[in-house]
Amino acid sequence: MPATTPAADPQAFLDDGYVMVRGLFNPDEIGGLLQFAKIDQELARESYVRRDSQGGDTRLALRNDLRDGDPYAAIARSRRVVEPMARFLGDEVYHYHHKMMLKEPRIGGAWEWHQDYGYWYDNGCIFPDMGSCLIAVDRATRENGCLQVLRGSQRLGRINHTKTGQQAGADPQRVEAAIARFELVYCEMDPGDALFFHGNLLHRSDQNTSDYPRWSLICCYNTKHNDPIIRDGRHPNYSPLELLDDETLHRTLIGLKERV
């Protein structure tokens, strides 16, 4: 098991808008999660499609609640993920939501250039002090549509978003200017790697043209001082997180193989 709070540089997060942590989850842990997710009928029932501008379909399942016995929620509550995020954002964080992204071989759609805060702002979050942790459940490559980021683009601040296909995409003129000014990084990841990134970081992904799936779990967090001014909005208001220690998380994920 990795250390409870992996070494990660808050200054790199401030400068680049993201930090990659390799091997945050070991092969047995992420393997248990993948085996469970592949046969999880509840996950399949809750999933829905967001179509890109070319008509490609990407399926996702989003949950606002932290259900007992839910391995995805266990990861979202884990010290391994939460404590680095709190360091990066400079305050206590709470669970905003988490989602499994199910990009299937040959048919998995793209995600347009966007900022998460581009639409979280409309949920009543008045500061951009929010972030996500993307955990690779399958191997992520250029061929199967890995995440792409514009390094340092969070410094642009929030960009207006409009509908692009069935998705919310950042203003194309601003995106074009950002691409000319910031380095494009393809975030290729092995299963168990994690990418922590800022809510204003511009990111996207291509369609999956390969024979291999790209499933990932994204855990999203808001800071305590940024409690939404809208009550009963799309995602939760502040509530303290009861954190899960590494040993308990490890047993939970390893034990998933027995439930398959």
Q: What is the pLDDT of residue 5?
A: 47
Name the 3-class secondary structure at 249: helix
State the Cα–Cα distance between residues 91 and 63, nearest whole angstrom: 23
Its CATH class, for the domain covering 13-259, is mainly beta
Which structure tokens are listed for 128? Answer: 């951009």
State the Cα–Cα distance between residues 124 and 50, nearest whole angstrom: 23
State the Cα–Cα distance between residues 260 and 120, nearest whole angstrom: 36
Residues of the chain with pLDDT under 70: 1-7, 55, 164-166, 260
Full-prediction pTM beyond 0.85? Answer: yes
* Residues 56-91 pLDDT 10s: 778 899 999 999 999 999 999 999 999 999 999 999
* Residues 134-149 pLDDT 10s: 999 999 999 999 999 9
Q: Classify the phi-psi angles of 165: left when phi > 0, otherwise alpha if psi is within -120 to 50, otherwise beta.
A: left
Which structure tokens are listed for 221? Answer: 């967090």
State the Cα–Cα distance between residues 171 and 203, nearest whole angstrom: 13
Question: What residues are paired with 163 via a beta bridge?
Answer: 168
The residue type at 206 = D
State the Cα–Cα distance between residues 82 and 240, nearest whole angstrom: 12
